[in-house]
């Protein structure tokens, strides 16, 4: 019996696969992936503090780590068409401030 690995496992190209997952999350929740990860890493934020399901939160953090470990550049996530069209998000490095999404979530 021959077993084809593609029948058992999903084979993906990284960091492109994780980038696409991250862009989907950014569009769904309107939160920057790097900001979410940095705040999670520095302050121990968890999904209960945000309007994110536990499953999505864990997947989001996981895919950001995979993205970075495989040479992904977080600025590619900020330069996507999703963010360019989002007037609530300033897509310029000079205007970038970490955790700006948190202020939006906490204040509202």
Residue pair 60/22 in contact (Cβ under 8 Å)? The answer is: yes
- pTM comes to 0.72
Alpha helices in the chain (DSSP H): 5-8, 16-29, 33-43, 54-69, 74-78, 81-84, 100-107
pLDDT at 107: 43
pLDDT at 84: 64
Give me the tens of pLDDT residue by residue for the chain, a chain 108 residues long.
788 877 888 889 999 999 999 999 999 999 999 999 998 999 888 788 889 999 999 999 999 999 999 999 999 998 876 666 666 555 444 444 545 555 455 444
């Amino acid at each position: 019996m021959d077993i084809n690995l593609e029948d058992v496992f999903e084979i993906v190209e990284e960091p492109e696969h994780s980038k696409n997952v991250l862009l989907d999350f950014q569009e769904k929740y309107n939160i920057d992936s790097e900001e979410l990860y940095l705040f999670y890493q520095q302050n121990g934020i968890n999904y209960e503090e945000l309007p994110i399901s536990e499953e999505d939160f864990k997947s989001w953090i996981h895919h950001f780590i995979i993205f970075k470990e495989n040479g992904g550049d977080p600025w590619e996530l900020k330069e996507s068409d999703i963010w360019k069209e989002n007037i609530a998000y300033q897509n310029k490095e000079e205007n970038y401030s970490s955790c700006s999404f948190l202020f939006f979530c906490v204040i509202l």
